[in-house]
Each structure stands twice: as structure tokens, then as C-alpha cells.
A and B are shown apart, each in its own frame.
Chain A
Amino acid sequence: MKSTIKTKTLVLAVIASLVTLTMTGSAANAIGTLKQDALTGTSATVDTAATDAAIRKLVNGRTIKLGFAPPILSEAYTIAQQGAWNQMKDYETRYGVKWVWTEEAPLNNAHSGVETTGFIQNYVAKKYDAVFVCSAAPATVMQQLYKQGSAKGVEFYQFNSTEQLNQKSQATDATAGLSSVSNISYDNRWQSGALAAQYIADELKGKGEIIMILGPAGSDWTKLREQGFRAVVKKYPGLKIVGAADGGYVRDKGLTAAADLLTKYPKINAIYGENEDMALGASAAIDAARLKHWDGKSGIITIGADGLVSGMDEIRKGNLTATVNVGYADMGRTMIRTMFAHKVLGMDVAKFIRVPTVIVDKTNVDIFQSQIKAELATKVKY
């Protein structure tokens, strides 16, 4: 009896300290700071043995069933999944949690989201504990599904989502009108599109001509990134977007679109590819047109967004000037930390968790590529 009270007190003390830490950041980040350094996996300054033991007791070897529903299988979501698996392995080792992980992704048309709605219903029917979703289906449809699933005990977490387009204010409603427990992403406007534009503005010293290779019309990701990009360009009277074309988020279409625009505007200074594949297609178009890649002083800047190992290889070779690394591995780890904090520790977690993003170019590619490679090298699998 006494030991039970002691354990409960200890758990409460841990929770209290975590809550205090959330005053300066999200719950997920607080857990990360206390027990898990994002890069090293352990804390160098805090002895966590007692906390680990208390949480292990609370977990009591339970099995948690998790669903993972990305909009499509791709390198980006593979990195996010691996990040999640690595965090799960950490928790399994530290707290004795057992995991069941099921991935369901559409094979075609990532931008319709139709198939994802079916996956969600399957997860609910099979009584999963929590589901991580990224979908292009209409927000109202997804929120309705989350609401129905939540009523049956399934928790929903959105990741890499564009909820900034649809969210209501939290001023009077703590849920912001959303039925998902938390939304782990980055702001596509200001943490992606705007960063790319700022990089171009800085490199070109506020003067030059730009072409944009955009994602498919109607995509929320496209709308938001373009909004952020244009907002920054507008601040520089010397910068001008002279042309834009649809690259469909794929390399070949990016190549064709950039080749067409380079015929009309051979003297442009920069190409913004809304994702890395399209930017790499644009890079091939620069080669085909026998134009010069950016060398720090002259040539054409090509910038994308994602932060993939393949993209970073091209940065090293000079074929891609830079990319916005949106931290897919970090996103995956944060998904698990947030779910664990809420589902297991019973903590209130932030409705909107923003993972950090960063511009990666030749000056810092070593740091971020090695970080992703390390996550992918673990061979942990669920």
C-alpha cells in the first residue's frame, strides 16, 4: 500500500515538474528536454533513473496499438516513420512499452485523400489506441472522422498537416474547433515558403528575377507555401516573380515546367521549387539549358523544401543550392512523445506543435544530413 502511494506521489511529482516545464514550451518538448535530448538520446545533466522506474511501473508492460496514415509512401514519410520507430524503441527500452504499428498509405493520388478516410475507419473498427494522420482530404471530413473515432476511444494526431489554413482561434475554444488531440507540423507559410524566399533575397541582395515551380493546383501545401513565399518577396522591390508553372510535386514535371520557363526567361536568378523533387527537376533543366548553377556570386539559385537525404546529396554536388529542411525525423519522434505524454502520462499537450525548420545549404549540410542518416541507420522496425 505504502509503495503504491510512494509511486503515485513520485509520478505526480514527475508530472508536476513536466507541467512546470511546459510553461516554457510544449509538453512534448518538455519531455524531450527532461529525459531525451533530440540528438544524443540521453540527458547528460539529469539523473532520470527514478523517473524511468516510476513510468515503467505506470506502463506496466502494456501494449499500445498505433496507426500511421501518411498521404503516400515516400522518402519524406519513410524518414518520419523511422523517427517515430526510433522514439518507440527508446520508450520500449526505458519504460517497457510494447508497440503495435500499422501503416496504411494510398498507392495513388496523394492529393485526393479519399483512401485515407477508409484507413481511418479501419483503425477505429480495430480499436487502435492512437492514429497519426496526414491527409489531403477536406479538413471538415477528417475532423468529423476524428470526432467519431474519439468517441470510441481512439486518439488522433495530425502530422505534417496544413491545419493553419482551417484552424479557429484558441482564444475562446481550447480545442480550436479541432477533434485531433494535437497537430504536429510546421507552418507551411512562415517556416517553409517564407524561409526559401528570404534565402533568395539574402543571396541576391534583394534584387533579381525568380520563377516558381508549384505543386498541384488546389493543394493546401501549395497554397500556403506560395503565400509565405510571395509575402517575403513583396518586401523587396528589387525581387520579381516573373513566371510560375505546375510541377505536380514530381521531378519529371518539375523539369518540364522549369525547362519551358527557362526558354522564356533565360536570365532569371532563382528558381523556387515548392518541394525538393521539383527543385531537382529544375536543376536538371538548368543543366539542359546549359545555364550555370549558383556558386555564391553568380548563376541560378535553386531552392526546394523537404530535407531528404537524396536532396542533401545534390546540395553537396552543387546541383541544388539549398532546401528547407522541415524535420521529418523530428516530426516522427515528436508524434510519439506527444502521444505518450497524453495517452500514457495523462498530460495536456499543446494543440499545435511546431517542429523547427531550417535552411540547409553547403554551409550546414553535414549537420542535418548526418542527423537524418543516423535516424535511418538504426534498423529499428515495428
Chain B
Amino acid sequence: MKKFLSDPILGVIILLLLVGGVASFTVDVFFTLQNFTNFLSGSYFVMLLAMGMTVVLISGGIDLSIGAVMALCAGIVAKLALQGMSVPLVIVCALAVGAFVGCLNGLLVTVVGLPDFIATLAMSAFATGILFIWTKGTPIVGYMDETYKQIGGLAPIYRGVTVPMVTAIVIAFALGAMLKKTKFGVHLFSVGSNRLATRQSGINVTKIRILAYVISGVCAALSGIIMAGRNTTVPPDLGGGYEVLAIAAALIGGASLMGGRGRILGAILGEVVLAMTINIINLLGVPSSYQKIFIGGILLLAVLVNQFVISLRTKILMRSTNKKS
């Protein structure tokens, strides 16, 4: 029980139950398989971004370039596919670019010493600029075929199972296991909680932080590969605003901007809460002008619920300590 209460995921579970509960009373088609499939299929690529963001947030950084990197990688997929390159090679190229940009972010932050916010913001502008120059401001079209439809989740690989769904699940398990079961995961939390102490204990902080950005870049690339298939075209302004959604999902999921806290499952559930909120707004016919207010409200509620959970946990821990003493 104590372990559950100290888990940062508790807040988002409470929020999910709250939002789902409200929806079940107000929207008749909310609890249908079709509806869940709909809003989940539109959120896998944001989940991937949020998972990468969570890793960076745990390390005490922030990655504002993921939206632009996602768009750049989607552009690479579309352009190379148009040139007839095989699908596996296209995917490898996009992943390599994502990892490279992530590595650059990491080097700018650690070796050059730029603040995370500035370095990744600059990288975002850089990646967006490259895509605009490359595409001459015109969307890349005409690359779609059945394979890319499957990659984008527009066609299932088996019944209701889609590539984005499988990708999100595989990455979630991989990152979750990495954070919990590996030395790197422990070091990541340590770097985020107290960088100086971690460095003094002989851990290579620079390497850990660079790797966190590489993971984020790869997640953004995966998201871009899926997005190219889902969107069926790659406009140069594709990635605008997705980094904010990813940060919101990670924070709702219990990650902290101060570092040292966060969970992969939390990021996934955080994105589910956001997608569910937009789904409910659409189903209720709420004017779009209210959409931002709702999302802002959900974010605020998430923070309040998290704070409530933390204070509850502290009280319980104090009581048990008092009893023991």
C-alpha cells in the first residue's frame, strides 16, 4: 500500500478515473471499442514522444526539439520512400537522424554547456528550417502505399492490431525495463535528483545525459515514421506544438520538471488522459474555443492531484514513523 501511494503514477490513475467517470455519464458512445480504438490510434505517436520526454525529464533536462525532429524524420521517410528506397532502409535512416539530432542536443547541453531549454529550442528551429528549405514549403506527397498505410496505423497488421500500437507497447516495455532494471536507469534518476553528488560518486554524468537525449531523439524519429504513414503527406509545419503535448503528458504522468521523477507508464496514461479529453470535447460538441481551456484545466488538475497524493503519502509515512518511534 505504501509503495503504491509513493508511486508518481497514482495521480494520473485518479485523473483517468475522474475523466472517464465524467465521460461515461455524459457521452453515450464513450465506452465503446470503436471509440477507444479511435482516440488511442491518434495518440500512439504522442505517447512515443512523451516516453522520450520522460527519460529526459528524469535526467533533469527538457527536450523542446522533439516536435521538429519528428517532422524532420517524417520528411526523410517521405522523401526516401519517393525515391524508391526499401522500407527497412528508410526506417534506419530516419532513426539515425533522430539519434544524431539527440546526440547533438546532448553535446550542446553537456559539452558546450548551454541550458537545455535554449539548446533544444535552437535545435527545434534548426530542424524546422531544414525541412522548410528542403521541401520549399510544399508538403511531400505521393509516397504512400499499403506498407506505409500499415506503418501509420491506417491499415491493421492483424485484426485491430496496428504497427503504432505494437511500437508503443514495445518501446514502453523496453524503456520501462531500462529505467527499473538497469544501472543506466538508476544513474538517470540519480543524475536528475542530484547531479553534483552523482558526479562525485564517480558516475559519468555527461554520458548519461547525452544518452537521455539520444533516446528522446530516437523516440521522436519513431513518432515521425508513424506520422508519415498516418498523415499520408508531410507538410513542413507538421511538428508544431507536439512537444508541448508530450511535456504535458509526461507531467500529468508524474514526471517532474525538476528532474529525478517520472514513469513510462505515467507518460502513456498522461497522453491517454489528454486524448480522452479531446475525444470527449469532440463527442460533446463543445466549441473548439473551449478545447484549450479544458486541456489547461486537466493539466492544472493533474498537478493538484499529484500534490495531493504527495502530501497524503508524506502524512502516511510520518504516521508510520511516529508509530514505530
Q: How far is the CB of B74 from chain A (nearest CB, A)?
A: 11
Q: Which one of A108, A110, A243, A263 has the highest number of Cβ atoms from chain B below 10 Å of its Cβ?
A: A263
- Are the CB atoms of A78 and B137 closer together than 8 Å? yes
- Are the CB atoms of A217 and B282 closer together than 8 Å? no
Contacts of B34 in A (CB 8 A): 263, 289
- Are the CB atoms of B289 and A217 closer together than 8 Å? yes
- Are the CB atoms of A109 and B240 closer together than 8 Å? yes
User: Which of B128, B136, B282, B291 contacts A107, CB < 8 Å?
Assistant: B128
- Are the CB atoms of A255 and B137 closer together than 8 Å? no
- Are the CB atoms of A310 and B233 closer together than 8 Å? yes
- Are the CB atoms of A263 and B139 closer together than 8 Å? no
Contacts of B129 in A (CB 8 A): 107
Q: Kindly report which residue of chain B lies nearest to residue A246, judged by CB atoms.
A: B288
**A257-B282, A260-B279, A263-B283 known; A288 vs B233 contact (CB < 8 Å):** no
Contacts of B142 in A (CB 8 A): 310, 313
The A222-253 residues at the B interface (CB cut-off 8 A) are: 243-246, 250-252
A73 contacts partner chain B, Cβ-Cβ < 8 Å? yes
B184 contacts partner chain A, Cβ-Cβ < 8 Å? no
B303 contacts partner chain A, Cβ-Cβ < 8 Å? no
**A73-B236, A74-B139, A107-B132 known; A260 vs B291 contact (CB < 8 Å):** no
**A246-B288, A280-B232, A310-B141 known; A261 vs B237 contact (CB < 8 Å):** no
A277 contacts partner chain B, Cβ-Cβ < 8 Å? yes
- Are the CB atoms of A252 and B42 closer together than 8 Å? yes
User: Which of A108, A244, A309, A310 contacts B285, CB < 8 Å?
Assistant: A244
- Are the CB atoms of B235 and A256 closer together than 8 Å? no
User: Which of A105, A107, A110, A256 contacts B125, CB < 8 Å?
Assistant: A107
A216 contacts partner chain B, Cβ-Cβ < 8 Å? yes
Contacts of A260 in B (CB 8 A): 35, 38-39, 278-279, 282-283
- Are the CB atoms of B125 and A217 closer together than 8 Å? no
Q: How far is the CB of B146 from chain A (nearest CB, A)?
A: 12
- Are the CB atoms of B138 and A75 closer together than 8 Å? yes
The A296-340 residues at the B interface (CB cut-off 8 A) are: 309-310, 313
Contacts of A280 in B (CB 8 A): 232-233
Q: How far is the CB of B15 from chain A (nearest CB, A)?
A: 20
- Are the CB atoms of B291 and A217 closer together than 8 Å? yes
Contacts of B233 in A (CB 8 A): 251, 277, 280, 310
A77 to B235, CA, bound (A): 13
The A174-233 residues at the B interface (CB cut-off 8 A) are: 214, 216-218
- Are the CB atoms of A108 and B237 closer together than 8 Å? yes
Contacts of A264 in B (CB 8 A): 27-29, 283
Tally A residues with Cβ within 8 Å of B. Answer: 39
Q: How far is the CB of B250 from chain A (nearest CB, A)?
A: 20
Q: Kindly report which residue of chain B lies nearest to residue A73, judged by CB atoms.
A: B137
Q: Kindly report which residue of chain B lies nearest to residue A308, judged by CB atoms.
A: B139
Contacts of A251 in B (CB 8 A): 231-233, 235
**A216-B288, A259-B42 known; A105 vs B230 contact (CB < 8 Å):** no
The A252-291 residues at the B interface (CB cut-off 8 A) are: 252, 255-257, 259-261, 263-264, 277, 280, 284, 287-289
A218 to B287, CA, bound (A): 11
A154 contacts partner chain B, Cβ-Cβ < 8 Å? no
User: Which of B28, B232, B235 contacts A74, CB < 8 Å?
Assistant: B235
**A107-B132, A260-B279 known; A74 vs B237 contact (CB < 8 Å):** yes
Q: Kindly report which residue of chain A lies nearest to residue B140, judged by CB atoms.
A: A310
- Are the CB atoms of A263 and B288 closer together than 8 Å? no
- Are the CB atoms of A72 and B141 closer together than 8 Å? no
Q: How far is the CB of A294 from chain B (nearest CB, A)?
A: 19
A280 to B142, CA, bound (A): 14
Contacts of A259 in B (CB 8 A): 38-39, 41-42
A299 to B101, CA, bound (A): 45
- Are the CB atoms of B288 and A245 closer together than 8 Å? yes
Contacts of A217 in B (CB 8 A): 287-289, 291
The B177-230 residues at the A interface (CB cut-off 8 A) are: 227, 230
B165 contacts partner chain A, Cβ-Cβ < 8 Å? no
A-B contact pairs, 20 of them (CB 8 A): A72-B237, A74-B137, A74-B138, A74-B139, A78-B136, A107-B129, A108-B237, A109-B240, A214-B288, A218-B289, A245-B282, A250-B238, A252-B227, A256-B38, A259-B42, A263-B283, A277-B233, A287-B154, A289-B34, A313-B141
Footprint of B on A, CB under 8 Å?
Answer: 72-75, 77-78, 105, 107-110, 214, 216-218, 243-246, 250-252, 255-257, 259-261, 263-264, 277, 280, 284, 287-289, 309-310, 313
Q: Which 8 A-B pairs have the closest CB atoms?
A: A73-B137, A246-B288, A217-B289, A260-B282, A256-B42, A245-B282, A259-B38, A217-B288
